[in-house]
């Protein structure tokens, strides 16, 4: 039946992430690695608990770039709007001129804070100075700031810090500590200044550190100082930099992008959601549309449903979601951001108990959704309703006390079947964003759950076996691939890669099919030209299915990585129970493909 598979380091969570981290280092090389630091010090900051409990943060990118709105000299730019100075290679002198007409008179700190409060946000982080070098606060260090260089002449950061704290939320500043395209010694402006003549130490000494000291002295208690894209300092220098700031506000948390693994919590790359639970404090950051800073023509907003599910997913893996909005140059938050944040807040009003203060779920991701935990409780976040109305909690061998709907507290019938719990769900709207049920239990928490087979059920339209949950053999291994759509619009997908040798390389999924029947099997993968036209074989239940790989495109981190969903087989499953689904190349050749997932669709 179940054969023994060796080499399953990737089934052990800490190792998986160690591997991903190593791979990330080698794949992306030095500069990317410097930019994308998601390591934390490993030491627990004494003030970390509020952050772990908070779960939902609001990120705000607001600067001179917001005033430009993604357009320069009649040309529209797509991607990260806050990079427009760099994209258009705008000379410092010309960029400074834009400040003369930046007048955000519509800015209202209380309205922003009220919106965050209504949305269920627990902390707000705003860009005090982004890579463009423009300070959105009253700085004595430079005149390139909102008070000295614009007709607005006031300090919006002061007002916002107070308004946010008045609403009982934590407040923090984003500060670009190395990249500064305005300063001759700052990082990365190569169009005005010769990089080889720069003295980064001087920049740190004369601008970054003094401005950070202003921010950490004049704006009250900061929950977070959110550093970004480290550079120009050794580990020792970074440690000194950190120490010199820590004395000012020892209770402030520093983001991992301070560099060299010296941050207090881990920040995942933009739009990067880890596949499995992560220990320690961490945060995933997503922007509401495609850009961080305001772009007039970027109307690609994530729906309330997506936001709510991202939030639940982050919480189910033990982390936070910090969602970004980009107010415009007049000081207004885009209408859709306002509306969709409020929608999210309405859901949290009712379901907040299942998010705030929770820890990672005990039940691994299911076809119906995810789980979060509080002592003695599992919150079941159901966003796909099983067709038969029966919710399966596989292998939950604790004593169940009670199951009820979180909204309205309606008590539900359930029964035990072997080690499984089966819950009779009430009907709820098919378009419900996320319906939460509470399972109260007694007994201690076993630790072996994560080895549980992946559930494939006939009660859902589709079952997704994600690459991150595969066991691999030989050269096959799991890798986190980074690529982008628009400029700076990074995407991250975990894939099985490296399967090239038919004798040694294999990808395997341990699954449990809960309803017999016919299933369509679909492979979702990316396949480079040199990988195309190779034969592969998928096996399940003593049946072998051959397929040939199809060309999708080349892999380049600066371009979209295209995935195809190729149906490869229909299979009859006669009995419910555990199965092994494996995939391997037929011959010895190039990497077969980059496998993102295997989808199983019941045929009714
Ligand atoms: C940085 C900035 O350059 C960008 O403008 C924005 O502020 C964003 C939040 O952070 O860009 C990065 C940094 C790290 C990653 C991607 C973009 N990363 O780790 O995926």
Q: Locate the ligand 1 atom nearest the alpha carbon of residue 130 and give its number.
A: 7
Residue nearest to atom 10 of ligand 1 (CA): 228
Q: Give the range among 12-16, 22-26, 364-368, 484-488 with minimum mean pLDDT.
A: 22-26
Centre of ligand 1 to C-alpha 156, Å, is 24
- Cα separation, 259 vs 34, in Å, equals 7
Q: Mean pLDDT, to the nearest integer, of 274-280?
A: 92
pLDDT in tens, 482-494: 999 999 999 999 9
Cα distances from 255 to residues 10, 55, 385, 603, in angstroms, run: 27, 15, 38, 47
pLDDT in tens, 390-442: 999 999 988 999 999 999 999 999 999 999 999 999 998 877 899 999 999 99
- Cα separation, 523 vs 526, in Å, equals 10
Distance between start and end Cα atoms, the chain: 27
Q: Locate the ligand 1 atom nearest the alpha carbon of residue 179 and give its number.
A: 3
Q: Locate the ligand 1 atom nearest the alpha carbon of residue 61 and give its number.
A: 7
The answer to whether residue 510 scores a pLDDT higher than 50 is yes
Residues with CB under 6 A from ligand 1: 35-36, 80, 82-83, 228-229, 269-270, 272, 285, 292, 490
pLDDT of residue 28: 32
Q: Locate the ligand 1 atom nearest the alpha carbon of residue 324 and give its number.
A: 9
pLDDT in tens, 550-562: 999 999 999 999 9
Q: Mean pLDDT, to the nearest integer, of 376-394?
A: 97
Centre of ligand 1 to C-alpha 292, Å, is 9
Q: Locate the ligand 1 atom nearest the alpha carbon of residue 271 and give its number.
A: 20
Query: At 129, is the pLDDT very low, low, confident or very high (cuts 50, 70, 90)?
Result: very high
- Cα separation, 58 vs 288, in Å, equals 10
Pocket test for ligand 1, best of 27, 28, 34, 35 (most atoms within 8 A of CB): 35
Q: Locate the ligand 1 atom nearest the alpha carbon of residue 267 and give its number.
A: 19
Locate the DSSP E strands across 197-258.
Answer: 224-228, 253-254
Question: What does the chain come to in residues?
Answer: 604
Residue nearest to atom 7 of ligand 1 (CA): 292
- Cα separation, 10 vs 15, in Å, equals 6
pLDDT in tens, 31-76: 444 456 788 888 899 999 999 999 999 999 999 999 999 999 999 9
Residue nearest to atom 5 of ligand 1 (CA): 82
Asked if 173 and 215 touch (Cβ cutoff 8 Å), the reply is yes
Q: 497-535 burial string, b = 16+ CB within 10 Å, else e?
A: bbbbbbeebbbbbbbbbbbeeebebbbbbbbbeebeebe
- Cα separation, 179 vs 98, in Å, equals 20
Centre of ligand 1 to C-alpha 158, Å, is 25
pLDDT in tens, 292-347: 999 999 999 999 999 999 999 999 999 999 999 999 999 999 999 999 999 999 99
Asked if 220 and 162 touch (Cβ cutoff 8 Å), the reply is yes
Q: Locate the ligand 1 atom nearest the alpha carbon of residue 174 and give its number.
A: 7
Going by C-alpha positions, the residue among 136, 144, 147 that lies closest to residue 173 is: 136
Residue nearest to atom 15 of ligand 1 (CA): 269
Sign of CA dihedral 23, 29, 35, 41: positive
Pocket test for ligand 1, best of 285, 488, 492 (most atoms within 8 A of CB): 488
Cα distances from 130 to residues 90, 145, 180, 472, in angstroms, run: 15, 12, 8, 42
Asked if 133 and 141 touch (Cβ cutoff 8 Å), the reply is no
Centre of ligand 1 to C-alpha 575, Å, is 49
Residue nearest to atom 14 of ligand 1 (CA): 36
Centre of ligand 1 to C-alpha 269, Å, is 7
CB atoms inside a 10 Å sphere around CB 152: 16
Mean model confidence pLDDT for the chain: 93
pLDDT of residue 36: 61
Centre of ligand 1 to C-alpha 141, Å, is 25
Q: Locate the ligand 1 atom nearest the alpha carbon of residue 285 and give its number.
A: 9
Instruction: For residue 577, report the phi and psi dihedrals to the nearest 5 degrees.
Output: 145, -170
Cα distances from 233 to residues 178, 191, 240, 524, in angstroms, run: 9, 22, 10, 42
Centre of ligand 1 to C-alpha 489, Å, is 9
Centre of ligand 1 to C-alpha 490, Å, is 8
Centre of ligand 1 to C-alpha 66, Å, is 17
The answer to whether residue 14 scores a pLDDT higher than 50 is no
The answer to whether residue 140 scores a pLDDT higher than 50 is yes
């Amino acid at each position: 039946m179940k054969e023994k598979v060796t080499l399953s380091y990737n089934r052990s969570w800490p190792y998986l992430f160690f591997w991903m981290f190593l791979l990330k280092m080698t794949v992306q090389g030095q500069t990317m690695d410097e930019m994308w630091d998601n390591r934390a010090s490993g030491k627990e900051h004494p003030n970390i608990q509020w952050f772990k409990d908070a779960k939902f943060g609001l990120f705000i990118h607001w600067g001179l770039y917001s005033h430009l709105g993604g357009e320069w000299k009649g040309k529209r730019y797509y991607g990260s709007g806050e990079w427009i100075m760099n994209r258009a290679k705008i000379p410092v002198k010309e960029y400074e001129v834009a400040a003369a007409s930046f007048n955000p008179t519509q800015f209202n700190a209380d309205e922003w804070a009220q919106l965050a409060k209504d949305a269920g946000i627990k902390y707000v982080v705003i860009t005090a100075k982004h890579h463009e070098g423009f300070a959105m606060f009253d700085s004595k260090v430079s005149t390139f700031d909102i008070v000295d260089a614009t007709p607005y002449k006031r300090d919006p950061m002061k007002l916002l810090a107070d308004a946010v704290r008045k609403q009982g939320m934590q407040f923090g500043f984003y500060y670009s500590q190395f990249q500064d395209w305005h300063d001759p010694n700052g990082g990365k402006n190569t169009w005005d200044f010769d990089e080889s003549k720069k003295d980064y130490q001087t920049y740190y000494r004369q601008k970054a550190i003094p401005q950070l000291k202003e921010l950490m002295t004049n704006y009250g208690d900061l929950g977070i100082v959110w550093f970004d894209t480290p550079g120009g300092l050794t580990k020792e220098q970074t440690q000194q930099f950190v120490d010199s700031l820590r004395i000012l506000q020892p209770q402030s948390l520093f983001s991992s992008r301070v560099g060299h693994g010296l941050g207090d919590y881990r920040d995942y790359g933009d739009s990067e959601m880890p596949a499995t639970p992560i220990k320690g404090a961490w945060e995933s950051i997503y922007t509401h549309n495609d850009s961080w800073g305001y772009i007039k023509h970027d109307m690609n907003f994530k729906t309330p449903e997506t936001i709510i599910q991202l939030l639940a997913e982050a919480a189910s893996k033990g982390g936070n979601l910090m969602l970004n909005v980009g107010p415009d140059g007049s000081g207004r938050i885009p209408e859709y951001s306002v509306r969709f944040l409020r929608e999210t807040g309405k859901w949290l009003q009712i379901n907040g108990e299942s998010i705030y203060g929770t820890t990672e779920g005990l039940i691994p991701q299911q076809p119906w959704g995810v789980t979060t935990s509080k002592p003695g409780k599992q919150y079941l976040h159901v966003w796909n309703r099983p067709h038969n109305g029966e919710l399966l909690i596989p292998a939950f061998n604790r004593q169940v006390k009670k199951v009820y709907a979180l909204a309205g507290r309606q008590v539900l019938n359930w029964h035990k079947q072997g080690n499984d719990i089966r819950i009779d769900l009430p009907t709820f709207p098919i378009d419900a964003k996320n319906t939460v049920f509470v399972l109260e239990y007694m007994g201690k928490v076993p630790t072996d759950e994560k080895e549980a087979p992946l559930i494939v059920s006939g009660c859902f339209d589709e079952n997704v076996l994600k690459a991150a949950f595969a066991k691999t053999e030989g050269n096959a291994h799991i890798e986190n691939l980074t690529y982008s759509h628009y400029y700076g619009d990074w995407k991250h997908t975990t894939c099985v890669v490296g399967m090239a040798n038919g004798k040694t390389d294999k990808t395997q999924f341990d699954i449990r099919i809960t309803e017999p029947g016919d299933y369509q099997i679909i492979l979702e993968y990316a396949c480079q030209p040199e990988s195309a036209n190779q034969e592969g074989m998928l096996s399940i239940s003593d049946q072998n299915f051959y397929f040939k790989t199809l060309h999708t495109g080349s892999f380049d981190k600066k371009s979209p990585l295209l995935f195809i969903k190729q149906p490869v087989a229909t299979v009859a499953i006669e009995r419910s129970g555990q199965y092994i689904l494996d995939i391997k190349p037929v011959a010895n050749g190039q990497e077969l493909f980059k496998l993102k997932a295997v989808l199983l669709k019941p045929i009714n």
